[in-house]
Structure 1
Amino acid sequence: MVQATGAGTCALLLSGRSAANPSGEHRVFVHPAADTVSAVIDALEALGGATLRRYDNFDFVAATIPAASRADLEADSRVALVEDDEPIEATATPVDDLLDGVDDLLEFGGGDDRDCTVHPAQQPAWGWERIGADDVDETGTGVDLAVLDTGIETGHCDLEVAGGRNFTTDGPPGDYEDRNGHGTHCAGIACALDNDLGVVGVAPQANLHAVKVLGDDGTGYHSWMAAGIDWCLSNEIELVSMSFGSEAGTATMDAVIERAREEGHLLVASAGNEGNDGGDACGEDNVRYPATHEDVIAVSAMDSDDSIASYSSLGDEIDLLAPGSSVVSTDVDNRYRSRSGTSMACPYVAGVAALAWARHGESGPGPNDEIRRALEAAAESVVDSCAEGHGLVRAAADLDGSNGGDDGDDGSDADDSTGGGSNGGSSTGESERTDADGDSGLGSIWQSVLEAIEGLFDRLLGRS
């Protein structure tokens, strides 16, 4: 279980959070040398520092240390690395203008009385239809998807939250309610229920988990992100959707991300809203972390006219494109709202990954690399430039590399290797899960290959 073992100082500035605060303390990650984590904790305490968090699956701690003591901590023989705990922030902006055809959704008064009978009739967002979600029968049943964000409103009539955890300082660990709106909006894009109310998500039957790593102001720290991913590893959550960004990466977070990928989890992140100069925008290089990491699917955003959104960050790291502008989804206080940003594009890809995972038929982490290749192979070229990566994500992406007849790669060059296996850690937190054995999914693929080879030999030998 991820443990919060101290009450650190988390300074909130007008521009967001910072690794250093006005009192002269630094928020840091501390890695042990040959000694154990407990030895690092002793070193911190001796220098007036405080341990904020320990982790289930990682041998480092998040802590605060007086600025004047940092050099002494770095020189301690029990310490291998001291690294800043960098800030993160949500990547979306609200849009309050009414949109043609959905005025009743955006004008709906909402309320917290759970009277779902008064909600407007279901009206899918334009992005849901653009990626072809209306053409698939799969719903994501049995797949776990965690939205790492500001939390999720658990009482919303159009959402069903299976569980979650709060790793911020805004409330106790069991309080993963959203008091911002950003996380609830992202959750609806991925998993809003198909219940004839409001909107519908890409994977409405996936198991939705609220992992609060951004405070009520929409900002947080790498240590909170690490805690959220750590919780997903311990609870075998297959898919992790991250609609936030940071100016810099850290070796600590790199290790967390790489471990998640090795354990068979698939991580998806918004590219950021740093903007671009239009055109093919191949000269941009402003994608934000963690989307810059090669083990994370980086998602850029497009407008409803199939053009790259002017706000979207772009760069060589972009893997997939998804709808991001004026997307109507669930909001706090049982309402609906339109927002724009790569934050909105990210859960579209996470939702499609849930559909592909469900088609694969394997329960739990494991086929992450295979799912990623399937999404990339099935992507539709929209602008034919580096701004889209492999292209627009398609809901019909399947493990054979097909995309239901839409334009895109046929995936014939993809190999059949998989990445990692399921984590053997114990189940902790609010969302208890039972271990499940799953087929590797390779048998049917190799059977098809062998049959194709046999058919080729038959033709060469004149047996058909």
Structure 2
Amino acid sequence: MKFTYLSQLSAAAIFLLFSGGCAKQELQELTNDSPVNEATLRVGAETSKVKITRGNYIIISTNAAGLPANLSQQLASAGGALTSSMDKVGLATASSASPGFAAKAAKISGVKAVIPDFSVQWYDPSKEKNVVSEAVGNPPASGDNDPFFDLQWGHDAINAPEAWNAGYRGKGTRVAILDGGFDVDHPDLAPNIDLAASASFVPTEKLEYALPNTFSHGTHVAGTVAAADNGVGVIGVAPEATLILVKVLADSGSGSFSWLLNGIVHATLQGADVINMSLGAAIPRNGKFLDDNGTPNDPTDDFIVSDTKAVQELIVAISRVTTFAYQQGVTLISSAGNDANDGDKDKSLVSVPSDAPNVISISATAPIGWLTSPNANLDYLASYSNFGVSVIDLAAPGGDSSYPGNENCTVAGITRPCWVFDLVFSTGNNGYYWSAGTSMASPHAAGVAALIIGKNGGSMKPSQVETVLRASADDLGKPGKDAYYGHGRVNAYRAVVNAQ
């Protein structure tokens, strides 16, 4: 079992977004006179903590491939209600207002454990800064008719265009994006979305991102993987792959682990070849959590409770769903985290899902002043990226704002401070925006995985996919696997040339 803790940008953030310096957070919103709405620059995230959500529970069966008979009725007898069943992995969720529910439900024959669900305020969309994109005409260098393609330095870093020119574009593969809400009508995404297979596991929200701002983490990630090459805006690494959109985080930025568990199972049953999880939760090994019920004297004040067993059993639950997906032929890819944390040294925390069994963990790379030098290095380890030989498998472009200057640069008709262009540009809610983080690195790797599987006819064992990813990666650090790049930074062209 591969588990270490991920202390993320948000102390327990699932969606790993970039936190920049204060000076670079003071961008002013500009007027928008262009036909391409606006772009949002993600430059901050607020620290959050894992909370026990009283009244919601995860049921773990002794049988990893089934649930006890008549579970719904037995839970009702214990004072609860079954809210979801994941029969294939021996997991279920339930709700109850009864203080004694967990103890009673744990006595049901065939039940291994009953633990509280956990929730996190992963990020706060209201903190996002907006920057307008005034793109006009075609890109100045590539000749491609997607106006924003020249902003996508990450594609150049991994040689994605060379893979496309060789005839490999992800056709016949299905990539599930487990994330927040999505702009399902976005012109760069709509052609590739399988809406019938897509779903929301946020109980009170639909699949669509409903907030008015351009920032939409899920939309940004989906575009990096498989934005269509249609002459509209940007291009995904695998522009002909099919997208299965799975909402496991509310538009407000909050989310529960049970939603993630359900999302992985759903994507697997919908025939996903690749699951991208630009998300991760930091769980303390000592089992100390905030309780969202509050103290007796102040209901608004969270208090700390200890539940080491809950940590152990949550790991069991996550391991079951990732193992199930893997056994069903799914390649699982996850962001590694944004705390510049050395996973080889910090063993106090558990990272979910990046360190779960059969999950490929991705660190982030970035240039420093991409547009200020004709031969800029695109492969520095991003300043925020987690690292460690024991926790990083591969690296991919994630963006950064380490460039120290504030002078302007212009690309594709867009003028911004040069450091902005070192971030990752992709689709957003009714527009486009820049973002950075290992959340942006993971979909680059997922797109390469889709190219590999597409070359193989749309079916490939995940062990074979990972073997090709490793063998074709550019070994940028110390020879062999190293703490920063793992087995290397993914290379799309070499991957399709080497894929068997």
- Taking structure 1 as the reference length, the TM-score comes to 0.71
Cα displacement (A) at 1:287: 7.2
Partner of 1:234: 269
Counterpart Cα distance in 2 of 1:268 and 1:197: 28
- The answer to whether 1:75 aligns with 2:107 is yes
Taking only aligned residues, the RMSD between alpha carbons, in angstroms, comes to 3.1
Counterpart Cα distance in 1 of 2:393 and 2:48: 29
- The answer to whether 1:211 aligns with 2:243 is no
Cα displacement (A) at 1:36: 4.8
1:19 to 37, 41, 52: 52
Partner of 1:449: none
Cα displacement (A) at 1:83: 3.0
Does the residue aligned with 1:193 lie in a helix, a strand or coil?
A: coil
- The answer to whether 1:171 aligns with 2:205 is yes
Cα displacement (A) at 1:51: 1.3
Q: Give, as a single letter, the amino acid of the residue that structure 2 aligns with 1:236.
A: G
Counterpart Cα distance in 1 of 2:210 and 2:236: 18
- The answer to whether 1:153 aligns with 2:226 is no
Comparing 339-348 and 159-168, the one that deviates more: 159-168
Cα pair distance change 1:191/1:88, threshold 3 Å:
farther
- The answer to whether 1:370 aligns with 2:405 is no
2:162 to 129, 135, 157: 135
1:308 to 370, 374, 381: 381
- Structure 1: 4+ residue segments shifted above 6 A: 91-95
Counterpart Cα distance in 2 of 1:310 and 1:92: 22
Does the residue aligned with 1:226 lie in a helix, a strand or coil?
A: helix
1:26-37, aligned counterparts within 5 Å? Answer: 26-31=56-61, 36-37=67-68
Cα pair distance change 1:353/1:386, threshold 3 Å:
same
Counterpart Cα distance in 1 of 2:189 and 2:333: 21
Does the residue aligned with 2:474 lie in a helix, a strand or coil?
A: coil
Counterpart Cα distance in 2 of 1:75 and 1:105: 62
- The answer to whether 1:197 aligns with 2:293 is no
- Taking structure 2 as the reference length, the TM-score comes to 0.66
Looking at both structures, which has the greater relative contact order when contacts are Cα pairs under 8 Å and sequence separation is at least 6?
A: 2
Contact 2:205 2:250 in 1 (8 A): no
> What does the per-residue CA deviation read over 1:276-321, in whole Å, with 9 as the maximum and x for residues that have no partner?
47xxx96456672110023000001122142211211223121011
1:201-350, aligned counterparts within 5 Å? Answer: 201-248=236-283, 249-276=314-341, 283=345, 288-305=351-368, 306-315=379-388, 316-325=390-399, 326-332=423-429, 334-350=430-446
Counterpart Cα distance in 1 of 2:130 and 2:251: 24
Counterpart Cα distance in 1 of 2:115 and 2:498: 41
Partner of 1:86: 118
Counterpart Cα distance in 1 of 2:494 and 2:94: 42
Cα displacement (A) at 1:265: 0.7
1:382-461, aligned counterparts within 5 Å? Answer: 382-384=476-478, 385-398=482-495, 401=498
Cα displacement (A) at 1:237: 1.1
Counterpart Cα distance in 1 of 2:339 and 2:437: 10
Cα pair distance change 1:341/1:47, threshold 3 Å:
same
Counterpart Cα distance in 1 of 2:149 and 2:466: 30
> What does the per-residue CA deviation read over 1:51-84, in whole Å, with 9 as the maximum and x for residues that have no partner?
1111252332111243433223323444222234
> What does the per-residue CA deviation read over 1:349-407, in whole Å, with 9 as the maximum and x for residues that have no partner?
0000000111112x34x4211011100111112233312100101112437748xxxxx
Q: Give, as a single letter, the amino acid of the residue that structure 1 aligns with 2:466.
A: R
Partner of 1:359: 455
Does the residue aligned with 1:240 lie in a helix, a strand or coil?
A: strand
Cα displacement (A) at 1:152: 1.9
Cα pair distance change 1:42/1:95, threshold 3 Å:
closer
Q: Give, as a single letter, the amino acid of the residue that structure 2 aligns with 1:318.
A: I
Unaligned runs of 5+ in 1: 1-12, 107-117, 403-444, 446-464
Counterpart Cα distance in 1 of 2:345 and 2:60: 37
Comparing 150-159 and 66-75, the one that deviates more: 66-75
Contact 1:90 1:182 in 2 (8 A): no
Q: Give, as a single letter, the amino acid of the residue that structure 1 aligns with 2:271.
A: E
Contact 1:91 1:341 in 2 (8 A): no
Does the residue aligned with 2:493 lie in a helix, a strand or coil?
A: coil
Among all aligned residue pairs of Structure 1 and Structure 2, give the percentage whose two residues are the same amino acid. 31
Partner of 2:150: 123
Counterpart Cα distance in 2 of 1:44 and 1:200: 48
* Count of aligned pairs: 366
1:95-134, aligned counterparts within 5 Å? Answer: 96=129, 104-105=134-135, 120=147, 122-134=149-161
Unaligned runs of 5+ in 2: 1-45, 137-144, 284-313, 369-378, 400-422
Contact 1:261 1:295 in 2 (8 A): yes
Contact 1:148 1:241 in 2 (8 A): yes
Does the residue aligned with 1:198 lie in a helix, a strand or coil?
A: coil
Comparing 295-304 and 161-170, the one that deviates more: 161-170
> What does the per-residue CA deviation read over 1:1-52, in whole Å, with 9 as the maximum and x for residues that have no partner?
xxxxxxxxxxxx994773323xxx2432342679953433333212222211
Q: Give, as a single letter, the amino acid of the residue that structure 2 aligns with 1:244.
A: L
Counterpart Cα distance in 1 of 2:489 and 2:116: 35
Counterpart Cα distance in 2 of 1:67 and 1:318: 41
> What does the per-residue CA deviation read over 1:104-139, in whole Å, with 9 as the maximum and x for residues that have no partner?
359xxxxxxxxxxx9955434111111111211211
Contact 1:176 1:210 in 2 (8 A): no
1:40 to 41, 56, 71: 71
1:64 to 95, 108, 111: 95
Cα displacement (A) at 1:229: 1.6
Contact 1:151 1:184 in 2 (8 A): yes
Counterpart Cα distance in 2 of 1:14 and 1:301: 20
Does the residue aligned with 1:386 lie in a helix, a strand or coil?
A: coil
> What does the per-residue CA deviation read over 1:240-299, in whole Å, with 9 as the maximum and x for residues that have no partner?
00011112352012111101111111110111122247xxx9645667211002300000
Partner of 2:412: none
Does the residue aligned with 1:162 lie in a helix, a strand or coil?
A: coil
